[in-house]
Amino acid sequence: MGSGKELMENILFNDDKTVEWYIPFIRMNNLIATFSFGGAGGIFAPSLSSGAAIGAVVAQYLHIFGDSANLLILVGMTSFLAGITRAPFTSAIIVFEMTDRHSVIFYLMLGAMIASMIASFVDKQSFYDRLKKKYIQEVTPPKSPKTR
């Protein structure tokens, strides 16, 4: 499915912002599968595209069109990334830098903070904390019986 760049470009820059209802679930499952099986692909672009798909589906469901739909899509991108990384400020700044629209920063920050709070209720550790602990376990040599 790739990084999702094509999906984000189609949703944000075309008048037709329709996305099938199942696309966000497929994008999220592909993100999980990629990391579970050790595939390369990064976390940022797939997270942004999953969030864009979620924002587009919500905009369709609420019958929101045009610039308002784009704002909802951008907030979805920011929120999904903030939920994964638990870095709301960084997530909002990344999407803000991509769009260069000063008028949306409040909505991006609000969505990112809410998503980060909800994610902390789901799991106390962020995705990166889990990756860090796994990496440290892999690179730390096992203790020999004599050094214990």
Give the model's pLDDT for residue 130: 84
- The answer to whether the beta carbons of residues 45 and 3 sit under 8 Å apart is yes
Put simply, whether the predicted model's pTM sits higher than 0.75 gets the answer yes
DSSP 3-state percent helix, strand, coil across the chain (nearest 5): 75, 0, 25
The C-alpha angle 26, 32, 36, rounded to 5 degrees, equals 140
Q: In this predicted model, what pLDDT tens digit does every residue of 60-118 receive, in sequence order?
A: 999 999 899 999 999 999 999 999 889 999 999 999 998 888 889 999 999 999 999 99
Q: In this predicted model, what pLDDT tens digit does every residue of 6-62 receive, in sequence order?
A: 888 888 888 888 899 999 999 888 888 877 776 666 788 888 999 999 999 999 999
Q: In this predicted model, what pLDDT tens digit does every residue of 122-136 receive, in sequence order?
A: 998 887 788 888 889
Give the model's pLDDT for residue 112: 96
Q: In the chain, where are the structural domains located?
A: 5-147
Q: Please report the sign of the dihedral spanned by the C-alpha atoms of residue 108, residue 111, residue 114, residue 120.
A: negative
Amino acid at 41: G
Q: What six digits make up the tokens of 86?
A: 């638990």
